Amino acid sequence: MSSAVGSLARRNSPTHGQGVYATAPIPRGAAILTMAGQRLTFAQTRDDLRCMQIGPNLYLGETDPADPNAIGDYLNHSCDPNVGFTQGTLTLHALRDIAPGEEIRWDYSTSMNEPGWRFDCLCGAGRCRGAVRSFCDLTPAEQDRLRPIALNYLRRGG
């Protein structure tokens, strides 16, 4: 679900199975990677397919796991992410300086907008919300905080 940019590697994550890690310093504001994949409607998604929502009834489905550019399929969630969609596009940018060895994580609520979608969060961040929810199910204060790192379709009111 991505085209990798910069120095990233996929490896085991202590809390999430597989994860993506910086292999070199990444400065704040740097483009990390651009999410890509097969465009699907909700009806075309499946439980066994990694997908992210990119618009109303529009999703990106995972890329071929053997493809070295599929690294974005293994990005994990954090309620206190170090990357986000700062320009509203499918390109993730560093929200702060990222050290080598640090796991790259984004907030899944900045793309998902299906009412009732949620799962328990195990991110371990100090500001963990306890559950990952759709943007539309977040409090207005949480939406305001995340809007600057959300995809464009959510910035316009979901």
Which of 134, 117, 150 lies closest to 47, judged by CA? 117
> Sorting pLDDT into bands at 50, 70 and 90, what band is 67?
low
Give the whole-angstrom CA distance, residue 156 versus residue 39. 21
Element of type H or E holding 50? none
Q: What is the pTM of this model?
A: 0.90
Cβ distance 130 to 138 under 8 Å?
no
Residue-level pLDDT at 70: 73
- What CATH number is associated with residue 133? 2.170.270.10
Contacts of 11 (CB under 8 A, 6+ apart): 18, 19, 21
* Number of structural domains found in the chain: 1
> Sorting pLDDT into bands at 50, 70 and 90, what band is 107?
very high
Query: What mean pLDDT do residues 140-150 have?
Result: 96
Cβ distance 47 to 20 under 8 Å?
no
Give the whole-angstrom CA distance, residue 66 versus residue 93. 25
* Side chain identity at residue 53, one-letter code: Q
Give the whole-angstrom CA distance, residue 3 versus residue 158. 25
Residue-level pLDDT at 66: 63
Range of the domain at 145: 2-155
Lowest mean pLDDT: which of 66-70, 106-110, 114-118, 129-133?
A: 66-70
Q: Do β-strands 91-94 and 31-35 pair in parallel, antiparallel, or remain unpaired? A: antiparallel
Percent pLDDT > 70 in the chain is 91
